[in-house]
Amino acid sequence: MWRSLTNSSSFNNQESIQRQPLTVSTTRERIQGGFLGIGNPSEKIAAALAGFASQLPGYSILTLILGKDPISNRPVERTPASLIRALLGLVPNGDKIFNNLQQSGALQKAFSWFNGEIAKLNLTFNAIKTLFGKALSSLGIGDALNPIGAFAKIKNIILEPLARIKNLAAAAGTKVMEIAFEGFLNMAGGASGKVMGILRQAGGVFGSIIKDPVSFCGHLVSALRGGFQKFSGNIATHLKNGLTGWLLGALTGAGLTVPAQLDTKGIVSIVLQVMGATYARLRGKLTNKIGEQKVARLEKAFDFLRTIVTGGLAAAWQKIAEFTGNLQETVIGSIKEWVMSKVITAAIAKLISMFNPAGAIIQAAMAIYNTVMFFVERGSQIAALAEAVFSSIGNIAKGNVAGAANYVEQTMGRSLPVTIGFLARLIGLSGVSEQIKNVIKKIQDKVENALNKLANFIVEKGKSLLAGGGGKNKPDTSTQGNNNGRSSNGEVKLEKAFTMVSEAHHLYFEAKKPKTPKVEMATGRRDVLENKVRRAIQQEEQGARRPKLLNPLKQIQAKLASMQWVWEANDGNSQKERQIRYEYLQMLETIATVLTGLGAEFGISDLEFLGHPSKYAEQDSDGKTRLKQEYRNKVRTWFYPNSYRSNVEQWKKTRLATLKIGAPSGHFKDEMTGKFEPINVSNLATNVTIDHISPGVSRHWNTDNGGHNQKQDKRADFYNETSNMRLVAHKNNSSDGSRNAPAYNPEVGPNFRGPDDNP
């Protein structure tokens, strides 16, 4: 057609055409006059047809897709924004979807997706030009005089690609919402793909999440909060069913020999270990009541006592339980109360505060991201709970909040040992096993009273054995000075000199029948070594709990106990006595060697003070342990990070994007004052700073079991916890962080460690 229009003599002979009579309407005359007046007639026909086509819904979008009008060849500016805005114009609420897409920063990604879909639909300029060219070539000379009729002939051909565009737009609305939603997630952090994968577990209702993230966020938060609150409200029931498993695991970390089950026998065993109650303590009580010789005779003659000697004090668990009364209920009840008040209540309150609904799509997407990633990042700690949350996404998307909350509660209850451990870590509660031991120690008086009753029981039951005649049941004659045929005085004295970090010490061994052998350690004054070692072990177990220090001390304790048994084997035979003296000397040599080694390894000159394990701490003259002088005014510099982890930097970027919404250009909303502040100030790298909300760094250091009693990694975890952060202007951070904050207390706890300290 385009060739015939150009070469036609009728079109070239303007005067000839004008002389022909035209029986057309006034409108027809205007159209004819328009494209026959001047210029190339083919261009005028094309322009007229293009004008008619532009009235069709979707044609302007087609020209944007192609970059030019396929009928008139008129160029059309094509940008990602103009194309996507036009396509979304065919979608309900398209303007809102487009605005969200722009805010999400995912416009280019949506543009790339559209380009791929357009290619699949063969909406290319060459393909459309060919299609329209065939339609136009079917028009004749007469059609040039009747553009309206000509357009009617080709209209259906033009409508076919427009139908493809309409179908594309119908599918594009949901896809663009998904792209925008993922863009908002990406603003929250770098794991948006992982979060989207988890959200897609909702299956068929995934679309409802991206269509209304605000509602989904509200349902998600309600389900989690509801589950946590139900778990806390029913904690007594959950503890009844699952406390044993958690408690056994926690006590394993306390360096105790954990029984197979927490029945009365098991509880007695644990209590005795925590109290440090051994047969030696019971034996001391017996000796005070009836004397050494009678105790020694009962140990051989009284089956009940012999069982305790060989099996330990726990072998008398039935009598101890009888004398304490309701020991199992008392211990378990105390531990339950501690778990409920110190762990569950505190942790659930913090957990609930970490998840909040949002009122705008960007905040909702970020809240969803942070919530999902909270469980992703802790998957190794709380795998079952994370899986419960993720598998409930579908129910939550449907609005079935109650069902999801129940599932969360049930999962937390079923995996109680893991749940309690996770909650304890969440609130920074360290040394859980030691906390449990402290709870148990509160019944120490009751246990001590039970041991007194046990000693009375043994004495009472052993009277008949001690009163009987002959053999090992002869009366105790120790008070009569009878040495039973032993050497002239039955006495052994030994001495061993050694040093601990250049401090001179002596070990003295004295044994004389019928008294128990005694080993003393002297630096100036003499003290019973067993007492010094016991105090040192107690000090270390309540403090640093260094295995390399505790184990040798316990070896010395065992060696001292073995000395007692060796001495009891001394029957006065001179040859055997020489052997015993030699064994004692070897034992002293061993003890001295161990003590010397401990002094060298840990820098301690005596067992009275084992020193703090941190090289940054020292004991002051008042006996308290404080930071060394050079670190006291540099706590934050030395013992807290000087930069944030990458996830915090990403959080800051995302948070700042949120705080810029509604603020004047170049400003953000200060989260402390609520005022708009400039992002950049001339004398600062940035005016946007991270502020720790509650506690701040100095308060975290000073609080019970806070930074002054934590390892470096624990302080770093606190420092990088985004749930305790806000963005404030530099001037406000400086004011809140230095002038109004408390000073750093230089005292440190036994668990304190600085950079590069040994654990």
- 232 Cβ neighbours under 8 A, 6+ residues apart: 344, 345, 348
In this structure, what are the phi and psi dihedrals at residue 519, rounded to the nearest 5 degrees?
Answer: -115, 125
Give one DSSP letter per residue of 485-523, joined into a string: T-SSS-EEEEEEEEEETTEEEEEEEEEETTSPPEEEEES
Task: Give Rg (Cα) of the chain.
Answer: 44
Same domain, 398 and 488: no
692 three-state secondary structure? strand
Classify residue 344 by its DSSP letter: I
Give the span between the Cα atoms of 278 and 623, in whole angstroms. 30
The backbone region for 508, taken as left when phi is positive above 0, alpha when psi lies in -120 to 50, beta otherwise, is beta
User: What is the number of other CB atoms lying within 10 angstroms of the CB of residue 246?
Assistant: 20
Give the span between the Cα atoms of 680 and 691, in whole angstroms. 17
467 three-state secondary structure? helix
Q: CA angle 264-309-576, nearest 5°?
A: 165
**381: in domain:** yes
- Percentage of the chain beyond pLDDT 70 is 83
Same domain, 629 and 566: no
Given 567, 602, 637, which residue is the final one in a domain?
602
The per-residue pLDDT for range 79-130, each reduced to its tens digit, is 888 888 888 888 888 888 888 888 888 888 889 888 888 888 878 777 787 7
The per-residue pLDDT for range 197-211, each reduced to its tens digit, is 888 877 778 888 878
Q: What is the pLDDT of residue 452?
A: 92
Of 584, 323, 594, the residue nearest 454 (C-alpha): 323
**372: in domain:** yes
> From residue 389, how far is each of 376, 461, 488, 756 by CA, in Å?
10, 62, 81, 39
Judge whether residue 438 has pLDDT over 60: yes
Same domain, 647 and 592: no
Give the span between the Cα atoms of 635 and 697, in whole angstroms. 10
Given 188, 222, 257, which residue is the final one in a domain?
188
Q: What is the pLDDT of residue 543?
A: 65
If one compares 501 and 320, the residue with the highest pLDDT of the two is 320
Amino acid at residue number 403: G
Of 603, 529, 582, the residue nearest 559 (C-alpha): 529
726 three-state secondary structure? strand
Give the span between the Cα atoms of 62 and 462, in whole angstroms. 108
Given 412, 441, 470, which residue is the final one in a domain?
441
Judge whether residue 486 has pLDDT over 50: no
Classify residue 314 by its DSSP letter: G
Least confident of 151-165, 275-289, 481-495, 561-575: 481-495
Here the tokens at position 608 are 């009275």
The per-residue pLDDT for range 448-474, each reduced to its tens digit, is 899 999 999 999 888 877 775 433 333
Same domain, 352 and 400: yes
Same domain, 415 and 494: no
In this structure, what are the phi and psi dihedrals at residue 204, rounded to the nearest 5 degrees?
Answer: -65, -20
Q: What is the pLDDT of residue 678?
A: 92
Same domain, 595 and 635: no
Residue 473 contacts residue 287 (beta carbons within 8 Å): no
The per-residue pLDDT for range 708-725, each reduced to its tens digit, is 999 888 898 888 888 888
**14: in domain:** yes
**204: in domain:** no
Of 685, 507, 693, the residue nearest 596 (C-alpha): 507
Q: What is the pLDDT of residue 677?
A: 92
**194: in domain:** no
- 327 Cβ neighbours under 8 A, 6+ residues apart: 264, 267, 268, 271, 320, 321, 443, 446
The per-residue pLDDT for range 526-541, each reduced to its tens digit, is 888 888 888 888 877 7
Same domain, 582 and 669: no
Residue 268 contacts residue 250 (beta carbons within 8 Å): no
Give the span between the Cα atoms of 556 and 608, in whole angstroms. 15
Same domain, 47 and 142: yes
**468: in domain:** no
Mean pLDDT over all residues of the chain? 78
Least confident of 46-55, 507-516, 570-579: 570-579
Q: What's the mean pLDDT in 545-552? A: 80
pLDDT band, very low/low/confident/very high, at 11 (cuts 50, 70, 90): very low
Which burial class, exposed, middle or buried, applies to 433 when counting CB atoms under 10 A from its CB (0-12, 13-18, 19+)? middle
Here the tokens at position 344 are 């569950």
Give the span between the Cα atoms of 320 and 20, in whole angstroms. 129
> Positive or negative CA dihedral for 11, 14, 15, 18?
positive
**95: in domain:** yes
Judge whether residue 707 has pLDDT over 70: yes
Judge whether residue 631 has pLDDT over 50: yes
Beta bridge partners of 625: 619
- Percentage of the chain beyond pLDDT 90 is 4
Q: Identify whether 514 is preceded by a cis peptide bond (ω within 30 of 0).
A: yes
**478: in domain:** no
Same domain, 417 and 364: yes
If one compares 739 and 581, the residue with the highest pLDDT of the two is 581
Amino acid at residue number 449: N
Maximal CA-CA distance, the chain: 162
Q: What is the pLDDT of residue 21?
A: 37
Here the tokens at position 543 are 């403090």
Beta bridge partners of 498: 505
Write down the number of H helices and E strands in the chain: 38, 10
The per-residue pLDDT for range 222-279, each reduced to its tens digit, is 888 998 899 888 888 888 777 777 787 777 666 677 777 778 888 888 888 888 888 8
Same domain, 518 and 559: yes
Same domain, 586 and 630: no
> From residue 112, how far is each of 80, 95, 106, 118, 211 by CA, in Å?
9, 19, 10, 10, 21
Q: What is the pLDDT of residue 24?
A: 35
Q: What's the mean pLDDT in 148-170? A: 80
Domain tally, the chain: 4
Q: What's the mean pLDDT in 294-313? A: 85
Domain that holds residue 126: 2-188
Same domain, 337 and 387: yes
